[in-house]
Amino acid sequence: MRRLVCSICTAVAALCLVAGWQNHGQAQSVTIKGSDTMVHLASSWAEAFMKSNPKVEVAVTGGGSGTGIAALLNGTTDICAASRKMKQKEKDLAAQKGIKPVEVIVARDGIAVVVNPENPINELTLEQIRKIYTGAYNSWSQVGGPDKPIEVLSRESSSGTYVFFQKNVLLKKDYRQDARLMPATSAVIQTVSSDKWSIGYVVLGYAVEAANKIKMLGVKTGDASPVVLPSEKTVESGEYSIARPLQLYTAGEPTGAAKEFIDFCLGPEGQDIVRETGYVPLR
């Protein structure tokens, strides 16, 4: 009987060991969904991370910060990439579901206000931008330019950039009704590059890449304030006023491959990628 028991125990131990080997050898997956602003950055992180972690598959998709947060709360993504903070109603929904979202700031970003290169305007105050986007100004002549109608471009309401711009530049006022809502940053850039009298806002990294197609405007916080152009230096120093943190959210403290990925983003190689892709590193 003892011999039989020992044999069974040995067999069970062997099976557990084999299962452990198989589990250890299995590929792991991490899904990241959310901010269109961060898709390029997150994809670059994912590519570099998978090179050094070949048994981990990282899938990145956009859709907007709001979409990513909803997916996190619905349990359909491991990590949410967001270019804005969670809203109170999203936090309340998380609490109702027993979820404690954990926020990790991974980079910083500036929002560039852009026009066509042929537009003679080179700078605007925050108040002028606000009046353009809320409908108080309709002609470029009202900000020192030619008597031409202003074509206003915005991101869609699901975009974290839309929410951030409305809160921090428009001071929570509504966008003008005739603002054209664009599905992606690339659409804003394409339209501005082809429409001489349009104006839009895009994230700094994309603006730098498209420098030959668009013109970034200098921004003044007031009439007597200095003109500040968006750049890594002015965002990092706080001189440029339209800037924000970029964050990753997880449903609770990250573990396993998700934690390893976030740690990579915060590490030296991850922060080098932040700079290389046109965003502002934390250090």
Class of domain 29-108+245-276: alpha beta
Rounded Cα distance, 160 and 265, in Å: 20
DSSP of 78-99: SEEEESSPPPHHHHHHHHHTT-
- 12: tokens are 């069970």
**pTM of the complete model:** 0.78
Task: Give the number of other Cβ atoms within 10 Å of residue 194's Cβ.
Answer: 10
- pLDDT tens series, the chain, 283 aa: 444 334 434 443 443 333 433 344 567 999 999 998 899 999 999 999 999 999 999 999 999 999 999 999 999 999 999 999 999 999 999 999 999 999 999 999 999 999 999 999 999 999 999 999 999 999 999 999 999 999 999 999 988 899 999 999 999 999 999 999 999 889 999 999 999 999 999 999 889 889 999 999 999 999 999 999 999 999 999 999 999 999 999 999 999 999 999 999 999 999 999 999 889 999 7
Instruction: Give the distance between the most distant pair of CA atoms in the chain.
Output: 100
- Would you list the domain boundaries of the chain? 29-108+245-276, 109-243
pLDDT at site 26: 66
- State the Cα torsion 109-95-61-263 to the nearest 10°: 60
Distance CA 115, CA 191 (A): 10
**Tens digit of pLDDT for each residue in 75-123?**
999 999 999 999 999 999 999 999 999 999 999 999 999 999 999 999 9
User: Are domains 29-108+245-276 and 109-243 of this chain identical in fold?
Assistant: yes
**Which CATH code, of 3.40.190.10, 3.40.50.2000, 3.30.70.100, 3.80.10.10, is assigned to 109-243?**
3.40.190.10
The beta-strand segments (E) located in 170-265 are 180-182, 198-203, 215-216, 218-220, 243-251
